[in-house]
C-alpha cells in the first residue's frame, strides 16, 4: 500500500488494516440497551505484590484490567484490530513520522482537572526516563520529540516512519496520567474511580459519573482479584463467588457450560506459551541444542491433549497463521527424534542434564515440560522439570535460568511483538537473542509504505526468529473466559482475555 500525503482533514488508522478512517468512539460501537447499576467480582490468573497503579509499569493481566478501568488512552484498538481515536478525537500524519493529535475538550480526570496537551506530553515522555522502568521504554525510544500544540493539540515526531503508531498508543502502558504525576495512583480519565487497592490482593473501583463517553460505564462497582489456581478459579465462578474469570483451561469448558447460567467465550488469538532457551548461557546457547529441543516438541499432541484443540499450531515465531503478515513459506518444524538426536550428538551434549522451570503462571507450561521430558529421555537428554508456584514466578524465575517458560499476550501489531520480545536491546528479549539483521529489518518495516514489501520484510523476520532464536512456540492459545450469563455485553477481542482487558466499561448486569 503506497502512502500518499494526507490533508489536514484526513485521518490515519494504523491497525492491522493499515491506513484508513478512524471512527469516533461513539460511532460503530452500538450495543443493545444496557441496564445500569450492580456490581461484579472478577478474577484473573495472576497477581503479585508488584501490582501497580502506574500504566507504564504494568506487567500482568491484572495490571492491564486495572489500568483500563482507571485510565484512558489517545487511541484504542477494537475487535477488528483497527486503532481508533479515544482521548484524541483526531489523529493525523502525512508521512508517518510527524503525528498530530487533537484532544477532546471537556474530558476530566477523577480529581476534576481538565485533560490538556500538557498531560499527554508528560505521559508520553516519562517512558523515556530510565529511572521510571517503563515496560515500553524500547518503544518510546522512537519518540524524537513530543510537544504541545496549544492547549488541546500534541505533536509527536518519531525517529523514523512508523505506520503502527496509533495501534501502539492504544496499549495499556501508554494510558494518560496527570501532568507531573511521578507516581500515578489511579487518578485517570477512565470509566471507574479507584476505591481500594491492595497489591497482590484486590482492586475495588466504582463508576465514574463524569466519564467522557456518554452512557458508560454501566456497572456501579467492580472488584478485581486474582486466583492463580485454575481449578479454584472455576470453582469460584460456578459457586457464584465471581462473575467473570479469564484463562479457563480447555479441559474445564464442558464443566462450566454444564452448569446452568454459565458459559465460556473462546477467541482464537496470538497468545502463546513458549520455552525460553537463553542464548547467553550453556547449553541452551548452543545452536544445535536449540534445534534439538525444537524437534522434540510434539505440537499436535500439545494442541490436542493440553488445549483440547482450543489452539493453533505454532512454528517457533510469534506471528500466527491467521495474521495478514504470516509467512507460510517458513518450513514447519515437526517432532523428529532422529533429527533431535543428531543435533545433540553434533553439539556434544548427549546425556546433558538441564533443569526446566515451569509454572501454572505460564499456561500449559507444566504439561509441556513433562511431554518434552519424556521425548528428551528417548534421545539421551535429561530434562529435570521444576514446577514453581504461580506466585512470584515472573519476578523470581522467568528469564533467570537457562530454560524457563514465558507467556506472551497478543499485541495489535507485528512490530510491537517483535520490538518488545525479539529486538536485541528489548527489556523483554526473553532468550537474549541478538541479531543485527533482524533489528535492521524491524526498523525498515515500520516505515515501509508499500504493503507487499512490508509483508516481505516481516516474512524474513519470522524466518530469522524461526531458524535462529531460542524461543520455542508450540501453539497459539485461544483465549477462554468463563462468565455468569447474567453478565451481558461480552464479546471476543483477539488482543487478550476479557475483551482485551477492557471489559469494564462495556459490560452490564442483567438479572433477567
What local confidence, expressed as pLDDT, does residue 80 receive? 87
* 204 and 347 both lie in a single domain: no
Spatial CA neighbour of 506 closest among 62, 76, 56: 76
Q: Which helix (H) or strand (E) holds 312?
A: strand 311-313
* 210 and 111 both lie in a single domain: yes
For 172-189, how does the pLDDT look when each residue is reduced to its tens digit (9 = 90+)? 999 999 999 999 999 999
**Cβ proximity of 60 and 47 under 8 Å:** yes
The CATH number given to whatever domain includes residue 141 is: 3.40.190.10
What does the alpha-carbon distance between residue 426 and residue 416 come to, in Å, rounded to a whole number?
Answer: 11
DSSP state of 503: G
What local confidence, expressed as pLDDT, does residue 46 receive? 84
pLDDT at 398 over 50: yes
* 436 and 292 both lie in a single domain: yes
For the chain, give the number of residues: 512
Task: Give me the mean pLDDT over the 208-216 stretch.
Answer: 97
154 occurs within a structural domain: yes
Q: Structurally, how many domains does the chain consist of?
A: 2
What does the alpha-carbon distance between residue 334 and residue 303 come to, in Å, rounded to a whole number?
Answer: 13
For 234-274, how does the pLDDT look when each residue is reduced to its tens digit (9 = 90+)? 999 999 999 999 999 999 999 999 999 999 999 999 999 99
- 203 phi and psi angles, rounded to 5 deg: -130, 130
262 occurs within a structural domain: no
DSSP state of 306: I
What does the alpha-carbon distance between residue 418 and residue 413 come to, in Å, rounded to a whole number?
Answer: 9
311 pLDDT band, cuts 50/70/90, is very high
Peptide bond into 327 cis (omega under 30): no
Q: Which domain holds residue 276?
A: 270-477
* 202 and 291 both lie in a single domain: no
For 406-438, how does the pLDDT look when each residue is reduced to its tens digit (9 = 90+)? 999 898 899 999 999 999 999 899 999 999 999
**Residue 30, C-beta contacts closer than 8 angstroms, at least 6 positions apart:** none
- 350 phi and psi angles, rounded to 5 deg: -60, 130
* 367 and 439 both lie in a single domain: yes
User: Which stretch of 39-43, 167-171, 230-234, 444-448 has the lowest confidence by average pLDDT?
Assistant: 444-448
Q: In degrees to the nearest 10, what's the CA dihedral of 236, 222, 84, 248?
A: 0
Sign of torsion, CA 7 9 14 19? negative
Q: Which residues of 82-107 are buried (b: 16+ CB within 10 A; e: fewer)?
A: bbbbbbbbbbbbbebbebbbbbbeeb
Q: How many CA atoms lie within 13 A of 157 on its CB side?
A: 5
402 occurs within a structural domain: yes
* Residue 277: strand pairing partners: 403
DSSP state of 3: -
469 occurs within a structural domain: yes
504 occurs within a structural domain: no
* 219 and 305 both lie in a single domain: no
pTM: predicted TM-score of the whole model, two decimal places:
0.79
32 pLDDT band, cuts 50/70/90, is low
23 pLDDT band, cuts 50/70/90, is very low
What local confidence, expressed as pLDDT, does residue 74 receive? 98
What does the alpha-carbon distance between residue 73 and residue 170 come to, in Å, rounded to a whole number?
Answer: 6
What does the alpha-carbon distance between residue 381 and residue 293 come to, in Å, rounded to a whole number?
Answer: 10
Looking at 382-467, which runs of residues are DSSP E strands? 382-387, 403-408
148 occurs within a structural domain: yes
244 occurs within a structural domain: no
* 175 and 302 both lie in a single domain: no
What local confidence, expressed as pLDDT, does residue 4 receive? 30
* Residue 44: strand pairing partners: 226
**Residue 152, C-beta contacts closer than 8 angstroms, at least 6 positions apart:** 102, 103, 104, 105, 116, 117
**Cβ proximity of 5 and 94 under 8 Å:** yes
* 220 and 316 both lie in a single domain: no
Helix axes 451-468, 414-421, angle to 10 degrees: 30
* 453 and 321 both lie in a single domain: yes
What local confidence, expressed as pLDDT, does residue 447 receive? 87
Helix axes 337-347, 365-378, angle to 10 degrees: 80
What does the alpha-carbon distance between residue 317 and residue 320 come to, in Å, rounded to a whole number?
Answer: 8
- In Å, how far are 234, 252, 323, 334 from 239, measured between CA atoms? 8, 15, 38, 42
Sign of torsion, CA 447 453 455 461? negative
Burial group, residue 145, by CB count within 10 angstroms (0-12, 13-18, 19+)? exposed
* 284 and 178 both lie in a single domain: no
* 445 and 334 both lie in a single domain: yes
Task: Give me the mean pLDDT over the 301-324 stretch.
Answer: 95
The CATH number given to whatever domain includes residue 325 is: 3.10.105.10
What local confidence, expressed as pLDDT, does residue 250 receive? 93
* 203 and 338 both lie in a single domain: no
pLDDT at 36 over 60: yes
**Residue 112, C-beta contacts closer than 8 angstroms, at least 6 positions apart:** none
**Cβ proximity of 283 and 354 under 8 Å:** yes
Residues of the chain with pLDDT > 70, as a percent, come to: 94
What local confidence, expressed as pLDDT, does residue 12 receive? 39
Radius of gyration of the chain measured on its C-alpha atoms: 23
Amino acid at each position: 500500500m503506497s502512502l500518499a500525503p494526507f490533508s489536514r482533514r484526513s485521518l490515519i488508522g494504523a491497525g492491522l488494516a493499515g491506513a484508513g478512517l478512524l471512527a469516533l468512539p461513539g460511532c460503530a460501537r452500538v450495543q443493545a440497551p444496557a441496564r445500569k447499576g450492580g456490581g461484579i467480582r472478577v478474577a484473573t490468573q495472576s497477581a503479585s505484590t508488584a501490582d501497580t497503579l502506574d500504566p507504564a509499569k504494568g506487567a500482568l493481566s491484572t495490571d492491564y484490567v486495572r489500568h483500563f478501568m482507571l485510565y484512558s488512552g489517545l487511541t484504542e484498538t477494537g475487535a477488528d484490530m483497527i486503532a481508533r481515536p479515544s482521548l484524541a478525537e483526531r489523529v493525523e500524519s502525512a508521512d508517518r513520522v510527524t503525528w498530530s493529535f487533537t484532544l477532546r475538550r471537556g474530558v476530566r480526570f477523577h480529581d476534576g482537572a481538565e485533560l490538556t496537551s500538557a498531560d499527554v506530553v508528560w505521559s508520553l515522555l516519562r517512558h523515556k526516563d530510565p529511572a521510571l522502568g517503563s515496560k515500553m521504554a524500547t518503544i518510546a525510544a522512537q519518540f524524537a520529540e513530543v510537544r504541545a500544540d496549544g492547549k488541546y493539540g500534541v505533536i509527536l515526531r518519531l525517529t523514523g516512519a512508523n505506520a503502527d503508531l496509533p495501534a501502539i498508543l492504544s496499549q495499556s502502558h501508554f494510558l494518560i496520567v496527570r501532568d507531573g504525576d511521578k507516581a500515578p495512583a489511579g487518578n485517570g480519565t477512565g470509566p471507574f474511580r479507584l476505591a481500594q487497592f491492595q497489591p497482590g490482593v484486590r482492586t475495588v473501583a466504582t463508576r465514574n459519573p463524569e466519564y467522557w463517553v456518554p452512557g458508560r460505564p454501566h456497572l456501579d462497582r467492580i472488584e478485581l482479584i486474582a486466583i492463580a489456581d485454575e481449578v479454584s478459579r472455576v470453582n469460584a465462578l460456578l459457586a457464584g463467588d465471581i462473575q467473570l474469570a479469564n484463562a479457563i483451561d480447555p479441559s474445564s469448558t464442558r464443566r462450566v457450560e454444564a452448569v446452568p447460567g454459565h458459559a465460556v467465550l473462546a477467541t482464537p488469538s496470538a497468545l502463546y506459551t513458549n520455552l525460553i532457551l537463553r542464548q547467553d548461557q550453556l547449553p541452551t546457547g548452543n545452536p544445535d541444542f536449540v534445534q534439538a529441543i525444537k524437534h522434540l516438541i510434539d505440537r499436535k499432541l500439545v494442541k490436542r491433549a493440553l488445549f483440547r484443540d482450543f489452539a493453533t499450531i505454532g512454528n517457533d515465531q510469534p506471528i500466527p497463521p491467521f495474521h495478514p503478515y504470516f509467512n507460510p513459506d517458513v518450513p514447519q518444524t515437526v517432532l523428529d527424534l532422529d533429527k533431535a538426536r543428531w543435533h545433540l550428538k553434533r553439539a556434544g551434549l548427549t546425556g546433558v542434564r538441564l533443569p526446566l522451570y515451569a509454572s501454572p503462571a505460564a499456561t500449559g507450561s507444566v504439561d509441556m515440560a513433562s511431554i518434552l521430558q519424556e521425548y528428551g529421555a528417548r534421545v539421551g537428554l535429561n530434562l529435570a522439570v521444576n514446577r514453581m508456584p504461580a506466585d512470584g514466578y515472573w519476578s523470581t524465575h522467568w528469564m533467570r535460568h537457562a530454560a524457563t517458560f514465558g507467556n506472551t499476550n497478543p499485541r495489535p501489531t507485528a512490530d510491537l511483538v517483535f520490538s518488545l520480545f525479539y529486538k536485541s536491546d528489548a527489556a523483554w528479549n526473553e532468550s537474549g537473542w541478538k541479531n543485527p539483521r533482524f533489528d535492521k529489518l524491524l526498523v525498515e518495516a515500520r516505515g515501509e509504505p508499500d504493503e507487499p514489501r512490508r509483508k516481505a520484510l516481516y516474512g524474513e523476520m519470522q524466518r530469522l526468529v524461526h531458524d535462529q532464536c531460542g524461543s520455542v512456540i508450540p501453539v497459539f492459545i485461544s483465549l477462554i473466559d468463563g462468565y455468569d450469563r447474567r453478565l451481558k455485553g461480552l464479546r471476543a477481542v483477539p488482543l487478550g482475555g476479557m475483551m482485551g482487558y477492557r471489559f469494564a466499561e462495556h459490560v452490564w448486569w442483567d438479572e433477567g
